[in-house]
Amino acid sequence: MSELTPKMDGIVEAEITRTMGPWREAWRSFRKSKVAVVGMVIVLFFILLALFGPLFAKEGINEQMAADRLQPPSAEYWLGTDDFGRDILSRIIHGARISLSVGFLSVIASVIIGSFLGIVAGYYGRWTDTIISRIFDIMLAFPSILLAIAIVSVLGPGLENALIAIAIINVPNFGRLIRSKVLSIKEDEYIMAAKGIGMKDARILFSHILPNSMAPVIVQGTLAIATAILEAAALGFLGLGAQAPQPEWGKMLADSKSYLQSAPWTMIFPGISIMLTVLGFNLMGDGLRDALDPKMKN
Amino acid sequence: MTKTPLLKVNNLKKYFPIKKGLFGSTTGYVKAVDDISFYVHEGETLGIVGESGCGKSTTGRVLMRLIEPTDGIIEFDGKDLTSLSQEEMRKTRRHIQMVFQDPYASLNPRHAIGKILEEPLIVHGVTEAKERKKKVREFLEIVGLSEYHAKRYPHQFSGGQRQRIGIARALMTNPKLIIADEPVSALDVSIQAQVLNLMQDLQKEFNLTYIFIAHDLGVVRHISDRVAVMYLGKIVEVADSEQLYEKPLHPYTQGLLSAVPVPDPDFQKKQIIIEGDIPNPADPPTGCTFHKRCPFRMDSCMKVTPQLVEQSTGHSVACHLYVSEVDNDIKQLEGSL
């Protein structure tokens, strides 16, 4: 019997791994990290808040109760009210929608543009690579928030323009990441095999090289969403992002900064929201890195 | 034997430029493949052997134009491959397929086996999905795997199984010529035999022509009809497999053969030990590139490059030992001019 047992284990193991693709295996190792799961729960909480919260938020976001200005948290106003008598909880719930949209949309845009430029630079090399890489270098030479401020100043302040600016400043990060990944993958034998089979460049690029370079992009993307939310809040705080009545978290911080002494809740709760969301994405990103890093495998 | 060969290679060269300095000026060339000519008949297996770095893998890749040749003619099925446009070459590749050395690296880790095998058909215009799936099943069976393996991913297979998949992929488009680049050198010895036998069975079944690249003479003997020995980018000896192993002419071939272990502890043989390492291919020795390591070195070896000359039917060697004195004198004169 004792001889049989290890064999049985092997079979069970084989049954489990039988139809699992690389992504499902990554999910398995992701689940093992508690911290990453906590991060994911936080992120999911804010995503659900953004999607469904506004349906339940009892007060209108811009409904002003002049009589209830700067009320501390109470049964009626769970997180208190701001200087116009607006319910902070409602504003934070609606703000989640704004912050997460900015985070996701800007990162998706930079991933698409960055991947395209990076893959072209990495695969074709020579002068295309030189031109694209030098543009990335120039963009990376500026501190990113400074570049974002410059872009918003040109486009004019506003939430959409802040989103565009954040998308642009993240392009070189993804571009360089993909480029370096493509450079190593295109030397792999299965790419040589794909060419040998007679595949066209487009097929090799998008069906073979791109999927194999996605793992670090997903990690970087998750972390970049956190940064993008922070940057959007920073631009909002500076008055370059979301405009006056919009309940954007950074803007809420800026509006309430003069009440830090007298009504600290006006500042603390938007601040905690930003902090939690960013923390959630960072924890999740770290977990993804461990799960998707090929060096950790086997 | 007057039939025209399926593949005929004339004076094939591949020089890789060596770039140095800030502006990448070319300071020299590595002659990975230096003026080689050979032919392969339909249904035949040509083995190419040599040490690592002698240019045998480069030769395989240049034949498919995965690496562009520097010079020479590759005549396949009556067409000169070097004159084709990229698009024409891409289409021609369905007739020439390749089996790669490392079964762990030659399959895309993110694609299931079914997809890997289906892709050559998609690329070469088999539009009917049902037909493709049927063919995938058929070829999985042919190489000794089962239908349900199509859903699995490469990392779930052993090296031998993966190499079977690699072979199945090469067969999907019904090619005439298969270039096998060290297909068994990454496998265990017991698995090697299985894969080699499979390749031989497939050759009979589909009338395949193989170019079999390897560094293991035992493996090559098992599968090849004819063998070409390469040294530093040049072919130094070509012969029928039996003849080469019975009566090797070139000192390098003799040395390689005497290094093959014999599974008999009482066997006494005359060892020819090749000393030293393979020279720097960027700066090869003058004359015969083997002369620094050759036990039978003569004066002319250092000056004159020996040509590949037929000694008996189908047995050619590039060595001054087998050229008559008169020829040598003439060559030496030509060389000094």
For the stretch B75-122, pLDDT in tens is 888 888 888 888 888 888 888 999 988 888 888 888 888 888 888 888
| pLDDT tens sequence across A209-252 | 888 888 888 888 988 998 998 898 889 888 888 887 888 888 88
Radius of gyration of chain B (CA): 22
- Relative to beta strand B234-240, strand B226-231 is antiparallel
In chain A, what's the furthest Cα-to-Cα distance? 80
Q: Which residues does B174 contact at the CB level (< 8 Å), separation at least 6?
A: B94, B206
How far is the C-alpha of B278 from the C-alpha of A119, rounded, in Å?
38
DSSP secondary structure letter of residue A87: B
**What pLDDT shows up at residue B192?**
87
Structural domain spans, chain B: 7-95+209-336
Q: Work out whether strand B177-181 and strand B96-99 pair parallel, antiparallel, or are unpaired.
A: parallel
pLDDT the model gives residue B322: 79
To the nearest whole Å, the CA of A10 is away from the closest chain B CA by 13
- Are A201 and A210 in contact by the 8 Å Cβ rule? The answer is no
Q: Cα distance from B39 to chain A (closest Cα, Å)? A: 21
Which residues are registered as beta bridge partners of B10?
A: B73
The pLDDT of residue A5 is 42
Contacts of A176 by beta carbon, 8 Å cutoff, 6+ apart: A118, A133, A136, A140
Tokens 């959630």 appear where? Answer: A280
pLDDT at A8: 43
Say whether B120 and A197 touch across the interface (CB within 8 A).
yes
Tell whether B213 lies on the interface with A, counting CB pairs under 8 A.
Answer: no
The verdict on ipTM greater than 0.85 is: no
Cβ neighbours of B102 in A, within 8 Å? 189
Tell me which chain A residues have a C-beta less than 8 angstroms from the C-beta of B66: 192, 195-196
For domain B7-95+209-336, the CATH class is alpha beta
DSSP H helices in chain A? 4-17, 22-31, 34-56, 88-124, 126-141, 144-155, 159-185, 189-197, 201-203, 210-212, 214-237, 249-255, 265-292
CA–CA gap between residue B251 and residue B271 (Å, rounded): 12
Q: Which of A19, A22, A200 sits opposite B109 (nearest CB)?
A: A22
Report yes or no: A69 at the B interface, CB cutoff 8 Å: no
Chain A contact set for B103 (CB, 8 A): none
Residue A233, Cα to own-chain centre: how many angstroms? 14
The string of pLDDT tens digits covering residues A37-93 is: 999 999 999 999 888 877 776 556 777 777 777 777 877 777 777 777 788 888 888
Alpha helices in chain B (DSSP H): 56-63, 86-92, 113-123, 129-142, 159-171, 189-206, 217-223, 241-246, 251-258, 299-303, 325-336
Question: Each residue of B240-262: pLDDT tens digit?
Answer: 888 888 888 888 888 888 877 77
Of residues A104, A112, A103, A118, the one with CA closest to residue A178:
A118
Q: How many CB atoms lie within 10 A of CB A105?
A: 17
Q: Which single residue is written with the structure tokens 């060969």?
A: B5
Alpha helices in B74-158 (DSSP H): 86-92, 113-123, 129-142
Cβ-based contacts of B90 with chain A (< 8 Å):
198-200
Which member of B66, B123, B156 has the closest CB to residue A192? Answer: B66
Nearest-Cα distance to chain A for B153, in Å, is 7
How far apart, in whole angstroms, are the C-alpha atoms of residue B116 and residue B207?
24
| Strands B45-49 and B209-214, bridge-based pairing | parallel
Question: How confident is the model at residue A173, as a pLDDT?
Answer: 92
For residues A24 and A3, give the distance between their C-alpha atoms in angstroms, rounded to a whole number.
31
Has residue A280 got a pLDDT over 70? yes
The pLDDT of residue A9: 45
CA distance B232 to chain A (A): 23
Among B106, B123, B156, select the one facing A199 at the smallest CB separation. Answer: B123
State the best of A25, A189, A195 to mutate against chain B, taking most chain B CBs within 10 Å. Answer: A189
Residue contact A18–B152, C-beta within 8 A: yes
Looking at the DSSP bridge assignments, the partners of residue B179 are B98, B211
3-state secondary structure of B174: coil
**Residue A12, pLDDT above cutoff 80:** no
Contacts by residues B145-152 (CB-CB < 8 Å, ≥ 24 positions apart): B145/B113, B149/B113, B150/B112, B150/B113, B150/B114, B150/B117, B151/A19, B151/B112, B151/B113, B151/B114, B152/A18, B152/A19, B152/B112, B152/B113
Q: C-alpha distances in angstroms, B291 versus B58, B75, B211, B316, B334?
A: 23, 32, 28, 18, 19
How would residue A4 be classed by pLDDT, with cut points 50, 70 and 90? very low
CA distance B73 to chain A (A): 19
Taking CB atoms and an 8 Å limit, are B169 and A193 in contact across chains?
yes
Calculate how close chain A gets to B24, using CA atoms only, in Å: 12
Q: At what angle do helices A34-56 and A22-31 cross, to 10 degrees?
A: 90
**What are A129-167's pLDDT values in tens digits?**
999 999 999 999 998 889 999 999 999 988 889 999 999
- Report chain A residues whose CB lies below 8 A from the CB of B97: 196-197
In order of their start, the domains of chain A are 44-296 (1.10.3720.10)
* C-beta separation of B177 from B209 below 8 A: yes
A74-89 pLDDT per residue, tens: 777 777 777 777 888 8
pLDDT, position B269:
63
Q: Which residues of A touch B151 (CB under 8 A)?
A: 19
Reported as a pLDDT band with limits 50, 70 and 90, residue A111 is very high
Measured between beta carbons, which residues in chain B are less than 8 angstroms from residue A18? 152, 156
Residue A40 structure tokens: 């994911």
CA dist list (Å): A19 to A12, B154, B203:
13, 11, 33
Q: Is A196 on the interface with B (CB under 8 A)?
A: yes
- Tell me what pLDDT residue A109 has: 95
Contacts of A81 (CB under 8 A, 6+ apart): A65, A68, A69, A70, A71, A87, A88
* CA–CA separation, B77 and B89 (whole Å): 13
Tens-place pLDDT, residues B266-312: 766 666 777 777 777 778 888 888 888 888 888 888 888 888 888 88
pLDDT of A298 reads 39
Dihedral angle over CA of A38, A41, A42, A44, nearest 10? 160
Residues of chain A with pLDDT > 90: what percent? Answer: 26
- All residues of chain B having their beta carbon less than 8 Å from the beta carbon of residue A208 are 108, 111
